[in-house]
Amino acid sequence: MPFDLLSPAVTALLVESLQETAYMVSVAALVSTALGLPLGVLLVVTAPGHILAAPIFNRILSVAINLIRSTPFIILMVAIIPFTRFVSGSSVGTSAAIVPLTVAITPLFARLAESAMREVDRGLIEAAEAIGASPLQIITRVIFPEALPGIVAGQTVALVSLISYSAMAGTVGGGGLGDLGVRYGYQRFMPEVMVAVVVVLVVIVQSVQLIGDAVARAVNHRIARSKRSAQV
């Protein structure tokens, strides 16, 4: 265990950084899911020819999302400082770092959710229209459940990116594992801290991926159960 190789002071720092990362990532993940999923739904259903077609709105939304996505996170973080201060009351600190993290991940998650929901067969949507389903019922009872495995997979990808982005949160005083690695491991020449940080991050990312895959598989009924267990 890397913990045994570290002094108690450094171990305490590592635990504290882990808590900061967990806090930033979990809040940002929750908020970006809550915002990104409806955005993804809007991107799908307002596309030309879809159930609530609004091509101009769709185009504007799409361009806005691309604008955020094409801005490097480190620049985005600095560029939206006034907005961050408006939302969290401060432009520095762990809580303040959640704002740019959320702003950066929401469009990514929206795009991933969009592509999962766009794959839902038009025939299913027509079948729902034919039994008199409203657009909202089609979204909640057909598109969302059918796309759920893809949405979970997208959420996993977004979460891994989020963890990676959170390493840059030190730039705005957000702390966290990445910050610890840079300040102690790199700037103070303590390679054991750097290694510890990397190991902890690898474990977290692996866990997220494994759990995400398991959940995606559990909600996927497209493959027969017998064949599914054979795949595992």
Binding site for other proteins (CB under 8 A): 121, 123-124, 126-134, 137, 141-142, 145-146, 148, 219, 221-226
**Which residue, 16 or 129, has its beta carbon nearer to other proteins?**
129
How near is the Cβ of 130 to other proteins at its closest, in Å? 4
**Which residue, 30 or 223, has its beta carbon nearer to other proteins?**
223
How near is the Cβ of 49 to other proteins at its closest, in Å? 12
Residues 6+ apart with CB under 8 A from 157: 108, 112
Length in residues, the chain: 232
How near is the Cβ of 51 to other proteins at its closest, in Å? 12
**Which residue, 183 or 228, has its beta carbon nearer to other proteins?**
228
SS3 163: helix
How near is the Cβ of 211 to other proteins at its closest, in Å? 20
128 is written with which tokens? 């729902």
**Which residue, 38 or 126, has its beta carbon nearer to other proteins?**
126
**Which residue, 69 or 118, has its beta carbon nearer to other proteins?**
118
How near is the Cβ of 157 to other proteins at its closest, in Å? 21
- Compute the radius of gyration of the chain from its Cα atoms: 21
Q: Which string of b and e fits 60-72 if b means at least 16 CB within 10 Å? A: ebbeebeebeebe
Report long-range pairs for 7-12 (Cβ below 8 Å, ≥24 apart): 10/184, 10/190, 10/192, 10/193, 10/196
How near is the Cβ of 95 to other proteins at its closest, in Å? 38
Which alpha helices (H) appear in 46-185, and where do they start and end? Answer: 55-70, 73-79, 81-88, 94-118, 122-130, 135-138, 144-166, 177-180
Q: Are the beta carbons of 227 and 221 closer than 8 angstroms?
A: no
**Which residue, 140 or 207, has its beta carbon nearer to other proteins?**
140
